[in-house]
Amino acid sequence: MTHDSRLITRRKVLAGIGGVGLLTAGAGLGQGVLSGGAPPYTRFTYAQPDGTDGNGQNGNGGNGGNNGNGSLPRLKIAWYQTYNDRPLDSPVDEQTEDAFGDQAVYVADVTGPVVRVPDAMPGDAGSLGIGLLAENAPANVWFAVRAVPADGSDDPITGFTENQIREPEATAGDTTETLGELQNYLDFDLWYDTGVLGNGAGFTGACNGTRDVGEQTIAEGRLFETDDSGAFLHPDYQSLSEGIRLDDETLVGGNGCLAPNQPRCLGLDWQFAADAPNVAQTDAVQFEFVFALTECSPNTDDVNPFTGATVAEATGNGRGRGRGGDR
């Protein structure tokens, strides 16, 4: 059958919410580690290619449970981030605990990176809390993790820029003039933020941006690592870049769909390896975490909105991703 879908382009939503992630390795002194509690969600947008809520609204209105053409729900995406334990981009009252905060700022057209670190140093780390809400109607939610090409290119590794080889890099053995090495020293941990023992939203630890016992892994490791030829080395990179369905049962329920009006969350941690050599100095990485949604249907097959491929749809239980696990 034909499924209507709405795919967020890289210029609309990263990590759910912002065009691309951009990390650049610094050559100077790093910033000190600061402490701070987890803030509320500070930004939100809608998973629609025109940057609206699907009804031409700016997030403050709507007329029903679809995108205006009768086929899709609206998927609300909220987020907040930290860098070295310090909350970033927090223009609202940090005492507000509304997960999809009525106080959060609506972003109609996310044109820049949500995660931007212009001078990352070895040992630096950050996190991104991502909230999902299907408004008024259930939805199948799909997710892709992939490198982003430099402007004017279709080759994803062109987003891993060298930015010239400087003396410390050359001394450390860097010889690749066009391909940077920073991606080889970035560790990621992406998980379903469903709470202690994976019980789902409303339970202890759900949507708190912290990895708790029992929460299921979506992907982990050096997701964008390459060899000197630019070939991706992570065993799950291809499947992640082509898109997977978010199907952890505690997140979406037994029918595989995100239930309407029930907040669900993902968590992302990243770290620049503390022992990274100088070959990564001044290098940069561009990446994206992209969401798409399709109609929730009881039919026996579904269509991956990223590739257009028809995939079998299991019923009842959540479907594993191979490398998933809990802690």
Beta-strand ranges (E) seen in 113-233 are: 116-120, 125-135, 139-147, 186-192, 217-221
- DSSP strand pairing (21-25 vs 5-7): unpaired
| Cβ neighbour number for residue 199 with a 10 Å cutoff | 15
| Cβ neighbour number for residue 185 with a 10 Å cutoff | 22
Cα–Cα distance for residue pair 38/18, rounded to 1 Å: 20
Under-50 pLDDT residues of the chain:
1-39, 49-70, 90-102, 111-112, 300, 313-326
Cα 155 to chain center, whole Å?
21
Query: Measuring CA to CA, which residue among 290, 143, 168 is closest to residue 218?
Result: 143
**Residue 242: DSSP 8-state:** H
pTM above 0.75, yes or no: no
Q: Dump pLDDT digits (tens) for 122-170.
A: 898 888 888 888 887 888 888 888 888 877 788 888 877 777 666 566 6
Cα 79 to chain center, whole Å?
10
Give whole-number Cα distances, 45 to 91, 131, 132, 238, in Å.
16, 11, 10, 27
Each domain of the chain, given as residue ranges in start order, spans 5-312
Tokens at 128, concatenated = 């991104």
Q: Dump pLDDT digits (tens) for 69-90.
A: 445 677 788 778 888 888 775 4
